Structure 1
Amino acid sequence: YFAGPPLLVLLKTFSIYIENMGVFSVAFGTALGIGVKAYSNCLRKVALRREPWEYLVLGGLGMYAGSKYPAWQEDMVKKINVLHAERGLPPLDSVGQISITDPARRKGEVDRSGVANHAVDMLHHPD
């Protein structure tokens, strides 16, 4: 299992808690782009103000990537649901199959696949 770049892992983690993450993802992408440039200058031990236009470029690229991330995530869930439909699997509600709006699902009381989850039952009740 490949988790992907750390940015995607962080955004995936925060997207579980933030339903409408448009503003958050843009701000996070911008801060990440500017932070990458500052970190690069620190590693090379040059002045932080060296080549200031690169802060704008990387901040803009981060802003663009952050603004597109919710759409990329939604598109990914749609593609996964198409694959699940072809294989007869239940659809995903969100990335990671975590639903923050369904309290019964959070507690593990509901199995949306419609079949008993025998593997989990065997783990909890081995006899």
Structure 2
Amino acid sequence: MASGAFVGAIFGFTVALYSNAVRKLPVFQAPWEHVVYAGIGAYAGNKVVEYTDRTAAEVDEMIKERQERNKVLREP
């Protein structure tokens, strides 16, 4: 889970750097923006990891249910 937050924070920080570069501002014109973007990126990274884990658990549950139904149908 920490890796998702770390990757998200790096992505958010990079977005802030890119935004300043496109506007031709000094790299650290407003340093609090970098912190805010990194925080938003970390939050989004955590949500992606949670979504992936939840989806994997739901798929595993669906597979087990399908196997149970198929086992009942196959028995004579």
Q: TM-score, normalised by structure 2?
A: 0.68
Say how many residue pairs are matched. Answer: 67
Q: Give unmatched runs, 5+ long, in structure 2.
A: 68-76
**Which of 20, 23, 46 pairs up with 2:25?**
46
- Tell me the percent identity: 28
Matched residue, 1:125: none
Counterpart position of 1:37: 16
Question: For residue 28 of structure 1, what is the aligned residue in structure 2?
Answer: 7
Superposed CA deviations along residues 30-78 of structure 1, whole A, max 9, x for unmatched, are: 1110000001111111111112211111101111122232211011223
Residue type at the aligned position of 1:51: A
Using a 3 Å threshold, how does the CA distance of structure 1 residues 44 and 83 change in structure 2: closer, same or farther? farther
What TM-score comes out, normalization by structure 1 length? 0.44
Aligned 1:91-102 pairs, distance under 5 A: none
Give unmatched runs, 5+ long, in structure 1. Answer: 1-21, 90-127
The aligned runs of 1:60-71 (5 Å cut-off) are 60-71=39-50
The Cα shift of 1:79 comes to 3.9
Q: CA RMSD in A?
A: 2.2
Structure-2 separation of matches of 1:78 and 1:24: 20
Relative contact order, higher structure (CA 8 A, sep 6+): 2
Select the structure of larger CA radius of gyration: 2
